């Protein structure tokens, strides 16, 4: 099968998934389009080596890679600040950046905005889990981290969102620590 046909049959059906990931990572339309286009260039090039495995996870891996390359060129500060290992070490609330402090005090902020403002390392695992419904193992492969790290980052991401007063107001549960 020629590369173009393979690409159309295997990768194109997952264009929405790729764009959704890129859109949440870049947080704007034009950049997300650029990232996905770059990912498609790479996917076209390598689709010959893709067996009938999981084309969606394969494509998402490429989109994520393309995003980080793009980010390194255009927003290096964001990678430095939201770097996974650095973030994982910052266990203390005190060490959480100003963005998250703002996030905590956001009474009227929409949940979608809060998700968009999560540190990159948390945002990507949350998007892959909640939107693409991928397993820990698949997310670990895509994000190139151990499964244990997937779990802890998911827990941190959810913890940050749950701390919002907005969620409790809507979620309606009154008990538990704030």
Question: Is the CB of 20 or the CB of 100 nearer to another protein?
Answer: 20
Which one of 40, 103, 120, 128 is in contact with another protein (CB under 8 A)? 40
CA distance 134 to 128: 6
Contact letters for another protein, residues 4-23 (x by CB under 8 A): x--xxxx-xxxxxxxxx--x
Q: Which residues are within 8 A (CB) of 47 and not within 5 positions of it... i.e. 6 or more apart? A: 3, 6, 7, 10, 11
Return the closest-CA partner of residue 134 out of 35, 61, 49, 62: 61
Minimal distance, residue 139 CB to another protein, in Å: 10
Q: How many residues bind another protein (CB under 8 A)?
A: 73
**Interacting residues with another protein between 45 and 104 (CB under 8 A):** 45-46, 49-59, 61-62, 65-66, 69
**From 81, 96, 161, 165, residue interacting with another protein (rule: CB under 8 A):** 161
- String of contacts with another protein for each residue 106-135, x by CB under 8 A: ----xxx--x----------x--xxxxxxx
Taking the chain, what is the end-to-end CA distance rounded to the nearest angstrom? 57
Complete DSSP assignment for 131-156: TT---HHHHHHHHTS-HHHHHHHHHH
């Amino acid at each position: 099968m020629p590369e173009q046909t393979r690409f159309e049959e295997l990768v194109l059906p997952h264009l929405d998934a790729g764009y959704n990931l890129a859109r949440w990572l870049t947080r704007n339309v034009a950049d997300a389009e650029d990232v996905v286009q770059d990912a498609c260039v790479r996917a076209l090039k390598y689709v010959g080596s893709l067996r009938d495995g999981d084309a969606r996870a394969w494509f998402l891996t490429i989109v994520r890679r393309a995003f980080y390359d793009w980010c390194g060129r255009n927003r290096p500060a964001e990678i430095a600040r939201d770097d996974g290992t650095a973030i994982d070490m910052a266990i203390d609330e005190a060490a959480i950046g100003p963005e998250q402090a703002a996030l905590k005090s956001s009474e009227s902020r929409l949940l979608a905005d809060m998700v968009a403002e999560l540190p990159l390392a948390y945002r990507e695992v949350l998007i892959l889990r909640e939107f693409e419904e991928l397993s820990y193992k698949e997310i670990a492969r895509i994000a190139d981290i151990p499964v244990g790290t997937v779990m802890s980052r998911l827990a941190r991401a959810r913890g940050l969102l749950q701390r919002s007063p907005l969620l409790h107001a809507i979620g309606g549960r009154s008990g538990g620590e704030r």
